[in-house]
Amino acid sequence: MSLPILMSCKKRKRAPKLFVFSTFCDPGCPIEPNGSFRDNIREFLQECAVIEEYTVNSSMSVWCTLLVQENKGIVLPLYTIEENVVCSENPFCDHCRCSGWSHNYMSKRKYHLIIPHESEWNKQLNSDVLELQTHLLHGLIHCNGFGHLLCINGIDGGSKYLCGRELMDLWDRICRNLRVRKVTLEDTSKKRSMDLRLLHSIVYGHPWFGRWGYKFCLGSFGVQEHHYQKAVEVISNYDLTDLVGVLPKTNKTEAVKQIIFPTEL
């Protein structure tokens, strides 16, 4: 599939490298760095990315890595933006503060890894790129190896080609390959109007992000981990027969009964 992003890359002095999306950042594919994150990210940019001919907000360098997903016939850009804290409008990290990492020394550099929405794949990044919530993937990693997953939007979030699991697999491989130390995220994903972390925990015993090793860190309004786990345990063991008995008598009640006891109706 010939995309404008490929055509623009062909005009550069340095030919672009194409990497397979599903195996990118597997061990040894395409690199196997052995240092700390601050060294590994440099090797990553040198071996896996091509620097763009423009900057973001006048000072932030941009690199582009092209990933191929042959079964869907797409080539997508993974951008890496280097933010120098000295020149940044936001030198302090609110995400670290909210995660209880305020004791960490302020990093000199931040690296944003971004896959924009499909409609933006063939456009230059704008000055508001770090603030958008429409990216398919946006991760921030400080040069000390501590990071934050800020945004992920799969099919349910508006993506045409990539589901959330594929994007999370990619993010997880990148973090492992570059030896990221710790990553936080704010789990606000929903299924309809219900928090997905609750639904998934009831069924599987852990939230959706738990597939990749993410665990409870901080709860809102003083909720601690043992409170949260106890609530999940109570709801998981709740007798659905008792639930049906207290439902109000409406047309929707019959639909709920059919979901819970499909063979009885």
C-alpha distance from residue 247 to each of 86, 110, 203, 259, 265 (Å): 58, 51, 21, 14, 17
Cβ–Cβ under 8 Å, residues 154 and 38: no
DSSP state at residue 139: E
Kind plus residue range of the DSSP H or E element containing 39: helix 37-48
Kind plus residue range of the DSSP H or E element containing 67: strand 60-69
Q: Going residue by residue through the chain (265 aa), what tens digit of pLDDT does each one get?
A: 445 455 445 545 556 789 999 999 999 999 999 999 999 999 999 999 999 999 998 889 999 999 999 888 899 999 999 999 877 777 788 888 877 777 666 678 999 999 999 999 989 999 999 999 999 999 999 999 999 999 999 998 889 999 999 999 999 999 999 999 999 988 777 666 667 777 777 777 778 888 898 887 776 666 777 777 787 777 777 776 776 777 777 777 777 677 666 665 4
Locus of tokens 């040198």: 46
Which of 166, 205, 150 has its CA nearest to residue 74?
A: 166
In the prediction, which pLDDT does 231 show? 75
What CA–CA distance (Å, rounded) separates 196 from 188?
8
In the prediction, which pLDDT does 65 show? 96
In the prediction, which pLDDT does 22 show? 95
Cβ–Cβ under 8 Å, residues 91 and 108: no
- Residues β-bridged to residue 219: none
In the prediction, which pLDDT does 165 show? 94
Which of 204, 197, 205 has its CA nearest to residue 223?
A: 197
Beta strand 182-185 pairing with 60-69? unpaired
Neighbours of 120 (CB within 10 A): 19
As a residue count, the chain comes to: 265
SS3 of residue 62 by DSSP:
strand
Question: Which amino acid is located at 131 in the chain?
Answer: E
What CA–CA distance (Å, rounded) separates 214 from 208?
9
**Going by C-beta distance under 8 Å and a sequence separation of 6 or more, which residues neighbour residue 11?**
none
